[in-house]
Amino acid sequence: MSDLRAILEDLDLTEVRTYIQSGNALFQASGTASALATRIERAIERRFGFEVPTLVLTARTLNDVIDCAPKGFGSDGGKYRYDVAFALGRTSTREMAAAVTKLAREGVDTVDYGPKALYFRRLIARATQSRINKITALPFYRELTIRNWNTTTKLLALATQ
């Protein structure tokens, strides 16, 4: 994460902070989210020699993703595991949700979607029966970045401090 922070600072982004070890960073910058994502992707590729699809969200967009979650999503962490799959925007979330829903195991997995994300809920007691992990075989998997609900809401809290 220190390498990521250094890359972002080298791009003259300000107030750079990283959060946990999964590529989450918060920063201040001007420009569009799309242009920033492209700059960051190029800088990462120059530094490490491989491409990393990058998603940049404004605090407002992150708030919208949270607001679009299904009613009650994230409210019963003792019973369900909740994840948000943020879409990079190449394939519609409606198409993605239709494909992932075909993988879902009834009574274990639920899949919903909003304009910019998919929402996965898995029954913890039957987690070994979940089929959501089979998403990795779908052609659009590289167009997603997945965070658990707690990380998603924590990032918004940090972004709006």
Domain limit, last residue, from 41, 56, 71: 56
Query: What is the domain range of residue 87?
Result: 63-148
Q: Strands 117-123 and 24-28: what pairing?
A: unpaired
What pLDDT digit, counting tens, does each position of 8-61 carry? Answer: 999 999 999 999 888 899 999 999 999 999 999 999 999 999 999 999 999 999
Q: Are 84 and 131 within one domain?
A: yes
Q: Are 31 and 71 within one domain?
A: no
Q: Are 80 and 120 within one domain?
A: yes
CA–CA distance, 16 with 3 (Å, rounded to integer)? 12
Amino acid at 53: P
What pLDDT digit, counting tens, does each position of 87-114 carry? Answer: 998 899 999 999 999 999 999 999 999 9
C-alpha 115 chain-centroid distance? 13
Closest by Cα among 8, 157, 153, 156 to 74? 153
Structural domain count, the chain: 2
The whole-number pLDDT of residue 21 equals 84
Residue 92 is assigned to a structural domain of this protein: yes
Q: Strands 80-87 and 144-148: what pairing?
A: antiparallel
Q: Are 139 and 67 within one domain?
A: yes
User: Strand, helix or coil at 83?
Assistant: strand
What pLDDT digit, counting tens, does each position of 111-151 carry? Answer: 999 999 999 999 999 999 999 999 999 999 999 999 999 99
Q: What is the pTM of this model?
A: 0.93
Residue pair 52/75 in contact by the 8 Å Cβ criterion: no
Q: Are 81 and 97 within one domain?
A: yes
What tokens does 152 get?
């998603």
